[in-house]
Structure 1
């Protein structure tokens, strides 16, 4: 699909340029209605809708605020600190200390970017509805547009809870100013159900959803809605389905070129960096690189997250006690001062998720600690760096650059990968008290982690004391199963932008307040700063600007 985007852009320029009377050509960058009334117009508009998957709508707010890879929503959870210095990006600092405002620029930019995606999908649906049947069969394009609209609306739903629904009818009638009386789950399910029925099982072009992706997404929607029975049914279909999808042999390949559009990837944002020859890549994630890449020190994993990777003598997680001991931290220790890394048992996924002193970092050498941290010890960032979003030193095809020297990664972002499907299925199974099924699917994920290649400082020996095993028997009861599945999601999907919406559906209040206390033990600058988490934070504030522009039609979420 990446090549087709370029091709269609060239065609778009041709449509605009080839006219007998240039004075009648639409404004630069715009298409006339007449130019769109055909198959080429449908494809152009559909490509435009796909382009909003990365959030880069250029419709307000910073590139970072519009990011669609979930990095800054992790900062709203217990997985990540903002990073960098406290004064850089104050709206993100507000998330850390639980000082959420309705005027927060990140909240506003994400709202605008998602509705831009909804509107572009609606434009495709509206155009297809107007075309004469002689123009061709556009059922495939319609299914893709409805899938995209369902995706953008899902992102709105889990972030804000009470959102307006803008349909293609609204688009045709230019009635965009709609109220937000409550959830729009039914609309999302309608779109994803249509996509499931009408999309093909395979696509010739990468990046386009299949019926299997729609089925998995539908299971995800049901799970977040709280309908665990339908969720289990849909996710079981995907897990047991006759398709190519499955777990990669190597866990880390999901965050390397080898994982781009691989068998584990059901749906991904297609980033490309062009060996740094153009300003492409993950624009929204350009702040999130540590010292060896020179920009900019944001998105730092928490001590709480790293502690969660500790395992017991049997290689199993410390579900209730993981914060009773800490993975050794170099917080407050300069790089030229002695430091001894943690010697206890760790799940090997720890060092593919969290960059820490004394452990090899993505081909750039052994992490030296403070020298790779932009923040001061007095800032909230802590000592750790992200790894999954950072390209490998050897993968130049994934290395990009920006207009002021920043870095951009070409690593695709997985909206849904097969491990996520297994763990969503396990969660639904646990909630439905199907304990054997839940155990089997969790163990499938843990088995892959155990059998993957471990991080090594010397290319031969494991860099730490990695120990992981499968659960030896079926979960003993439903309470234990639910706890184990939720914990596994954090281990497998940490720093992938999923955590906030997981804990919101489980009840984030106790999780976050316990995190504030535990994190302050090891990062003293963090201690006592965040205000207590209140249940109203389970929904984000409707942007003040949106309410003002609506003339009062939009209503604010409770508590703001």
Structure 2
């Protein structure tokens, strides 16, 4: 579901342009035009607007031609959260990502503005759907059809506002009735406006009105809307309200194709083209290659520069490289349980200082197999591309390795079979593929539900959910070509009750990290748990500042009550002035 209308806004909130303005651009074209107003306000036209709104999930090409403005959040969630380093050809390559990684993003950062524009472009396009729907008179748009369209549009609007809350914190809520993009994010007293109630209202409308089964893959259904409503509750520590919804979703929920929600049999199935849109996929951004779109813009482009050197002919730019800290988190004890407090005391062996021509022995200790579905390591099969070889497989040795490390990501990477089948294509500045990406998986829902159970005191129910995820992990070893396990995989469910609520909370949070590693969640989890400063400053940076001295040394620090949110882009504030004063108030500390 990609762009069908090449209409993109670049100024702050200009994407909330009203339908009358839309008419001026698309409808009042006279003899040069293609569509009439009746065309665009027909059932087909309204659905076209809705598909266009879905297309904003992976960002706006105008906001950032490299495709970094969408909801994959590899910069804002994974790099900022310590799951990954920026990498690249050298330290200055895409240097503005360094600023995010170092918790020092200036208000003029272009990646920041691209993400802001991507969010509000999505909000604006959802509002255009609602504006068109209100004006449409096509008899084919029955009340039942209108209700479905409105519910999908309001879900998408809430989703993008949610993204804005996660990244920027203090954003204004923009609905379809807005006629001026200069909307305040503060009240008359200068206090930041709380937009959670409006986000909840949109998600709730979608949950109460969407059908359980939808006609197109990738379209949101009742249960996905309910899951996002529950997630919004969770972000506000409304655990009882979230739990009630998660109970229903886990017990009764289905995918938009009518399949009972469940975990896939093998963890790796979530990241392959042949098995995407599975029973675990709750909200999956759809990708396509070779469909006629110029430069394959309908392909997965958010990781367009994030592939290892050793596949598809090399020269793949090599960004987004897993951190040693993340890799170490997959170590397990003799019972196959996570090392909650001591995981980072010993490193999973890396080949960073081992020449490619020299022998190398991979880590021989106990590991969770999810590591080798998430991270590429020397001596372990890299999907079906063969054994990952030396440093040159990750990126050319030198500054790229010094700053990005020797590991490479896997979840966002296509297989050799997918490449050979034409499901991957070279695009300008990198590679695009037909690989979808999950914004929410059922495993995510189980672990969010487990959080709620811990907080309301149902520790055994939380353990049940966590063990369900761990059991699937145990059944997902990575194999070599002779059918043997690629490493010493030892992972088991928690066999006995957790001793305390504090231990249960720690176990659930740790499980989220290793289940969802490199999927753009980590930083936002740390922030909502209120522990980002402790984990980043006391657990992550002390060792990483030595491992990556140029990237993370020299006094890099997370600043409490500031670094939780990115600054509102300077351009957005300067465009918000009314009568000499900005309607947007900058976030604290910037």
State the TM-score, normalizing by the size of structure 1. 0.92
1:537 maps to which residue? 563
1:518 counterpart (523, 532, 543): 543
What is the alpha-carbon distance in structure 2 between the residues aligned to residue 381 and residue 98 of structure 1? 17
2:456 equivalent to 1:435: no
> The residue matched to 2:417 in structure 1 has which SS?
coil
Asked if structure 1 preserves the Cα contact closer than 8 Å seen for 2:98 and 2:551, the reply is: no
Task: Output the aligned Cα RMSD.
Answer: 2.3
What is the alpha-carbon distance in structure 1 between the residues aligned to residue 492 and residue 232 of structure 2? 31
Name whichever of 383-392 and 278-287 sits farther off: 278-287
Asked if structure 1 preserves the Cα contact closer than 8 Å seen for 2:304 and 2:429, the reply is: no
> The residue matched to 1:285 in structure 2 has which SS?
coil
After superposition, where does 1:274-353 map in structure 2 within 5 Å? 274=290, 279=296, 280-293=298-311, 294=314, 295-353=316-374
Tell me by how many angstroms 1:530 deviates.
Answer: 5.1
2:93 equivalent to 1:88: yes
2:444 counterpart (416, 420, 429): 420
**Cα deviation code 1:298-354 (max 9, x no counterpart):** 100000000000000000000000111110111232211232211000001011111
1:158 maps to which residue? 166
- Equivalent residues, number: 539
What is the alpha-carbon distance in structure 1 between the residues aligned to residue 454 and residue 165 of structure 2? 24
> The residue matched to 1:69 in structure 2 has which SS?
coil
2:223 maps to which residue? 212
Asked if structure 1 preserves the Cα contact closer than 8 Å seen for 2:546 and 2:553, the reply is: no
Tell me by how many angstroms 1:107 deviates.
Answer: 1.0
What is the alpha-carbon distance in structure 2 between the residues aligned to residue 329 and residue 23 of structure 1? 61
> The residue matched to 1:284 in structure 2 has which SS?
coil
Tell me by how many angstroms 1:232 deviates.
Answer: 1.1
Asked if structure 2 preserves the Cα contact closer than 8 Å seen for 1:61 and 1:108, the reply is: no
Q: 1:197 to 1:550 in 2, by over 3 A?
A: same
What is the alpha-carbon distance in structure 2 between the residues aligned to residue 98 and residue 463 of structure 1? 37
Unaligned segments of structure 2, at least 5 residues:
6-22, 187-192, 255-259
1:374 maps to which residue? 395
What is the alpha-carbon distance in structure 2 between the residues aligned to residue 276 and residue 491 of structure 1? 38
Asked if structure 1 preserves the Cα contact closer than 8 Å seen for 2:58 and 2:67, the reply is: no
1:482 counterpart (505, 509, 522): 505
Tell me by how many angstroms 1:130 deviates.
Answer: 2.5
Tell me by how many angstroms 1:177 deviates.
Answer: 1.1
> The residue matched to 2:206 in structure 1 has which SS?
helix
What is the alpha-carbon distance in structure 2 between the residues aligned to residue 400 and residue 530 of structure 1? 41
After superposition, where does 1:450-489 map in structure 2 within 5 Å? 450-452=474-476, 454-489=477-512
Tell me by how many angstroms 1:398 deviates.
Answer: 6.9
**Cα deviation code 1:223-247 (max 9, x no counterpart):** 1122111111111111111531100
What is the alpha-carbon distance in structure 2 between the residues aligned to residue 386 and residue 267 of structure 1? 21
State the TM-score, normalizing by the size of structure 2. 0.87
2:146 equivalent to 1:120: no
2:69 equivalent to 1:69: no
Name whichever of 277-286 and 305-314 sits farther off: 277-286
1:12 maps to which residue? none
**Cα deviation code 1:351-373 (max 9, x no counterpart):** 11111111110111111121123
> The residue matched to 1:394 in structure 2 has which SS?
helix
Asked if structure 2 preserves the Cα contact closer than 8 Å seen for 1:160 and 1:540, the reply is: yes
**Cα deviation code 1:250-272 (max 9, x no counterpart):** 10000002431110001110012
Q: 1:148 to 1:337 in 2, by over 3 A?
A: same
1:168 maps to which residue? 176
1:253 maps to which residue? 269
Tell me by how many angstroms 1:474 deviates.
Answer: 2.1
Q: 1:491 to 1:258 in 2, by over 3 A?
A: same
2:10 maps to which residue? none
Tell me by how many angstroms 1:48 deviates.
Answer: 1.0
What is the alpha-carbon distance in structure 2 between the residues aligned to residue 263 and residue 459 of structure 1? 30
1:141 counterpart (138, 149, 155): 149
**Cα deviation code 1:168-224 (max 9, x no counterpart):** 110xxx212101123311111100100001100111211111101111111111111
Tell me by how many angstroms 1:32 deviates.
Answer: 4.9
What is the alpha-carbon distance in structure 1 between the residues aligned to residue 291 and residue 394 of structure 2? 25
What is the alpha-carbon distance in structure 2 between the residues aligned to residue 557 and residue 309 of structure 1? 36
> The residue matched to 1:292 in structure 2 has which SS?
coil
Asked if structure 2 preserves the Cα contact closer than 8 Å seen for 1:161 and 1:539, the reply is: yes
2:279 maps to which residue? 263
1:188 maps to which residue? 199
> The residue matched to 1:43 in structure 2 has which SS?
helix
Name whichever of 330-339 and 200-209 sits farther off: 330-339
2:20 maps to which residue? none
What is the alpha-carbon distance in structure 2 between the residues aligned to residue 398 and residue 247 of structure 1? 28
Asked if structure 1 preserves the Cα contact closer than 8 Å seen for 2:226 and 2:249, the reply is: yes
1:35 maps to which residue? 39
**Cα deviation code 1:525-545 (max 9, x no counterpart):** 556235211121101100110
Tell me by how many angstroms 1:399 deviates.
Answer: 3.4
Tell me by how many angstroms 1:394 deviates.
Answer: 0.9
What is the alpha-carbon distance in structure 1 between the residues aligned to residue 432 and residue 242 of structure 2? 36
